[in-house]
Structure 1
Amino acid sequence: MGRRTMSSETTPVKGRSFTLCLLIAVYALNFLDRQILSILKEPIAAELHLNDAQLGWMGGLAFGLLYSVLAIPVAWLADRYSRVWIMTTALAIWSGFTAVCGLAGSFPQLFLARMGVGIGEAGGTPPAYSLISDLYPPKQRARALSLYSLAIPLGSAAGILFGGLMAATVNWRWAFLVIGGLGVLLAPVLRLLVKDPVRGRFDKPQTGQLNLMGVVRLAAGKPTFWLISFGTACASLVGYGFLYWFPTFLARSLHMDIVSRSELFAGAFLISGIAGIFGGGWLGDRLGPGHKFAYPLIPAIAFIISAPLYALCVMAKTPQMAFLFVLIPQALGLTWIGPLLAATQHLAPANSRSQMSALFLLITNLIGLCVGPYFFGKLSDLLKPHYGADSMKWAFVIGLGFYIVAAVLMALASRTIKKDWVD
């Protein structure tokens, strides 16, 4: 992997739509590998004899800890070396470990395999954010990053649906083996067809390059960064927890079989995810350039509205009601992605964006991804003696309070973002 200078990098202006589409495909596979576990929890738990807390550790800490921490050194590399090479290597690693998940025979083995998936996926996101920011000018970035983030509902829905169908027709192990093999095959395609654009080509020239401690010191002086990061972390705690445990709620409270709940949740998340992510990006590009306070204020309003609507969803008495009631809050819960990712790209110079993004993701994922699935699983175990099969329902209701905290932090960020903005 040779070091690239700005003069040696190519600028794929004509092929940027194709590049974005391929990046979306890779990111979709990222979430497919990540979320397939949510629908396979029940057959895995039955075979390996796991409780909700252990399932929460496996969906959260096992994946999220190394994923969050390793994103920092990977981002340092991405600000200096080929982003495409880094993403190619990462894709091969996380896909290989996904396949290994299908061979696990115990909780420790599966836990370690999920850690390997997290190691690989640490190299997927920060380089892609930086690369997309060099493909599109500032006034188009929120939409471009939102289009890229459509991979979240596409990949998650595909993983949930495929995992459910595979578990019902063969077994849960083959779901991991097939998806992991697909990613290994896609890795060389990414390397051959995607080129690095010139860094900062749409931004003001920057002198020098910040090292990691320089980026940390820069972030330390920007209240907006911390408000957005911890606000997103609180919202992600709910989002990741809900995404991981909603199929379990459908199984226990609404008594749905694995195929029925995979079809319901995949369809609901696909519709709401696309609407919420694209809508948030459109609003960010529409309102943000002239009113920078809109970038954090859009998700603040969305979180406030989402909380009571999610509570209404988990109180549903039939699968049809649950499907209808989950669409709006799920969409609103994802509107933050485009506006806040675009805003984060403007809290650091162009040549340090990957590291700033990784620092943002470190905070967000250590709280949201690592804690979210475990929090709801542990809370469900604690509530089970009193609420029985409905313990997960009431765990959701209690956890929705984090959306209110997230909304308050975003509202505060809307008052500081103009001062902290970097053009």
Structure 2
Amino acid sequence: MAGETAATDTGGRRIESAGYRGLVLVMLLLVYTFNFIDRQILGILALPIKEEFQLTDTQLGLLSGIAFALFYTALGIPIAWLADRKSRTAIITISLALWSLFTAMCGAAGNFWQLFLARLGVGVGEAGGVAPTYALIADYFPRSSRAKAMAFYSLGIPLGSALGILLGGWIAATVDWRVAFVSVGLAGLVLAPIFRLVVKEPARGRFDPPQPSAEAPPFRAVLALLRRKPSFWLLAFGASCSSIVGYGMLFWTVSFFARTFALAPITVSQIVGGITFVGGVAGVWAGGWLGDRLGPSNPAAYGRVPAIAYLIAVPFYVTGLLVHNLPVTILLFVVPVALALVWLGPVITAVQHLVPPSMRATASATFLFVNNLIGIGLGPLIIGFISDKLGPQFGDDALRYSILCVLVFYLLAALLMGLASRHLAKDWNR
């Protein structure tokens, strides 16, 4: 990344300095951090919102899941199709402004349905944030450092999630939950024009071998190519199975600690924010490092690394959920939180390598459509639904057993990633 010293791309054109490319990556990370602050702040604010609007766990799961995922997934592919033809930096800027505006509007909601509609709007905005960025990073960094660059960008997940929990908890405790939404939304609106001024649009595919045609193909052509690549679908459904647990845990971990250990909201925000930051940063960076170290010479590693990580994560989560000791639970949660995010660098990099440069944004959006519709749409909802069903029998412990039930999806994710590893070398775009 920042250490790259090559002055030209594969076409002999001069490229930006390593310092500027590092700045671009930092700006993309900052945007992604706001993406996850706005996406996950609802988790720490769930308790006061539930109390004010008298909601069930299923309704909370709908607000975090379907309300966000519906348009986020539906619009992702057409926006990515546009990003393969138009300025990706402009699309990211507009998306940042939109989701920030709707996040601020969440603070004005007067009931469940108004908040539901505002969350739909957040999903509309965020639909154009991630897939164009994946393609942009692939055109700023050569193959030898893409997994680390993707991993650095993906640090926005633990950073944004942790900041959303910490800031949301602090603002909600000192003022109220509505101010938390308005504050982070306005901050994103300030960042949008700064991003547009700093980040330039690079030439497409400039670090890759010459392609027969640089023109972006129609979506049906991208889909036809992906249909012939089983590794893509195995990676997508494997990631979506893991995201059922991952996104479910991102939303419900705050409520789990609050209910299980009877902690104040500000204390919970500090604990869960710390777990998310430490574990998440370690896991994302480890995945990127392993991807760049093992993947270029053995593409199968892009699938095997996350498969092994999921298998190791399950016993740590099970033990952490069943013990009744707060310090032990905190320590045990850090490990699976890290392992659950190892997949990001390797898998996202693999998706970029399965298609030509002119198809990357659309292929990424197709991957995200499967991953997010299933993961974001169902993860928080399934845990909330099971918790409501178990509530009459287990009370506050119902959430604990609900989370235990969904851990089976990590085992399924490991199986699918392992199967994908067998096809990656054959499916590679060369």
Short-chain TM bin: over 0.9
Q: Deviations over 1:243-273 (max 9, x none)?
A: 1001111111111110010000000110000
Deviation at 1:407, TM superposition (A): 0.4
Q: Residue in 2 aligned with 1:357? A: 364
Q: Residue in 1 aligned with 2:208? A: 203
Q: Give the letter aligned to residue 117 of structure 2.
A: L
Report sequence identity in percent. Answer: 49
Deviation at 1:14, TM superposition (A): 4.7
2:55 to 50, 54, 66: 50
Q: In structure 1, what is the Cα distance between the partners aligned to 2:365 and 2:86?
A: 16
Deviation at 1:319, TM superposition (A): 2.3
Q: Residue in 2 aligned with 1:103? A: 108
1:392 aligns with 2:365: no
2:35 to 20, 30, 41: 30
Deviation at 1:283, TM superposition (A): 0.4
Deviation at 1:9, TM superposition (A): 12
Q: Deviations over 1:120-160 (max 9, x none)?
A: 00110011100000010011000000000011111110000
1:343 aligns with 2:365: no
Distance 1:169 1:14, change over 3 A: closer
Q: Residue in 2 aligned with 1:238? A: 245
Q: Residue in 2 aligned with 1:3? A: none
Q: Residue in 1 aligned with 2:305? A: 298
Q: Residue in 1 aligned with 2:163? A: 158
Q: Give the letter aligned to residue 103 of structure 1.
A: A
Q: Deviations over 1:274-331 (max 9, x none)?
A: 1000001000100011111100000000001111111111113132122101011110
Q: Residue in 1 aligned with 2:390? A: 383
Q: Residue in 1 aligned with 2:45? A: 40
The runs of at least 4 aligned residues of structure 1 exceeding 4 Å deviation read 8-14
1:101–1:176 CA contact under 8 A, matched in 2? yes
Q: In structure 2, what is the Cα distance between the partners aligned to 1:322 and 1:26?
A: 32
So what's the TM-score if we normalise by structure 1?
0.97
Q: In structure 1, what is the Cα distance between the partners aligned to 2:325 and 2:68?
A: 33
2:91 to 52, 75, 86: 86
Distance 1:10 1:87, change over 3 A: farther
Deviation at 1:233, TM superposition (A): 0.3
Q: Residue in 2 aligned with 1:317? A: 324
So what's the TM-score if we normalise by structure 2?
0.95
The count of aligned residue pairs is 418
Q: Give the letter aligned to residue 347 of structure 2.
A: L
Gaps of 5+ in 1: 1-5
Aligned residues: CA RMSD: 1.5
The 5 Å alignment of 1:4-15 reads 14-15=19-20
Deviation at 1:91, TM superposition (A): 0.5
Distance 1:63 1:270, change over 3 A: same
1:406 to 403, 407, 413: 413
Q: Deviations over 1:337-377 (max 9, x none)?
A: 00000000011101110000000000000100100000000
Q: In structure 2, what is the Cα distance between the partners aligned to 1:271 and 1:376?
A: 24
1:310–1:325 CA contact under 8 A, matched in 2? yes
Q: Give the letter aligned to residue 312 of structure 2.
A: I
Q: Residue in 2 aligned with 1:260? A: 267
Q: Please, which moves more after superposition, 60-69 or 10-19?
A: 10-19
Gaps of 5+ in 2: 1-10
1:289 aligns with 2:296: yes
Q: In structure 1, what is the Cα distance between the partners aligned to 2:86 and 2:210?
A: 19
